[in-house]
Structure 1
Amino acid sequence: MNRIFLNTIINGVLRIASVGITFLITAFATRLMTPIEAGMFLFALSLVTVGSSFFRMGLDNVLVRSFGAEGITNETTLRFARGSIWVVILVGIACLLGLLLSETVAINVYGDHAFTPILRYVCLTLPFLTLVCLFGFSFQGIQRFFIANVLQNLGVRLLFVVFALVVYFDRGTIDAKAAFELFMFSSIIFSLLAVWLWYRQSAIDKTIIFDVFRRPKESLFDGELWKSSSNLWVAATMILLVQWSANITAGFFVEPELFAYLSAAQRTAGLISFVLIVINMTVAPRFAKLWKAQKIEELSSLARNSTLVMILAAMPLFFCAIFFSDKVLLLFGPEYSAGSHLLIIMATGQMINVATGSVGYLLNMSGHDKDFRRITLISGISSILIAVGATWQWGVEGAAYATAFAIAMQNIMALFMVKRRLGFFPLFAWR
Structure 2
Amino acid sequence: MPRFVWKTDGTLPGASAHSLAKLRLIDFYLQRYFETVAVNPAMDVLRITFVDGFCGGGAYSDRGTTVEGSPLVLLGAVEKARMALNEGRTKPINIDAQFYFVDSDQTAVDALRENLANAGHLTRLGQDIHLTRAPFQRAFPDIKAAIKARTRGNVGRSVFVLDQKGYTDAPLPLVKDILESFSGCEVILTFAVGWLIDYLSDKPQTLKAVAPLGLSEGQIREYLQLKDQRGGRIVIERLLQQHIRRETGATFSSPFFIRSVEANKDLWIIHLSNHVTARNVMVEGHWLIKNNSLHFGSGDFEMMGFDPHLDPASTPDFWFGDYEQELMRERLKDGVLKRLRDRYASESVEYLRFLREAANETPARLADFDHVAGLLVDEKQLKLATADGQSRRSRRPDRRDLIGIHPQSSFHFIRHSTETKR
TM-score w.r.t. length of structure 1: 0.26
Structure (1/2) with the larger strand percentage? 2
Structure exhibiting the larger radius of gyration computed from Cα positions = 2
TM-score w.r.t. length of structure 2: 0.26
Structure (1/2) with the larger helix percentage? 1
Relative contact order (alpha carbons < 8 A, sep ≥ 6): 1 or 2 greater? 1
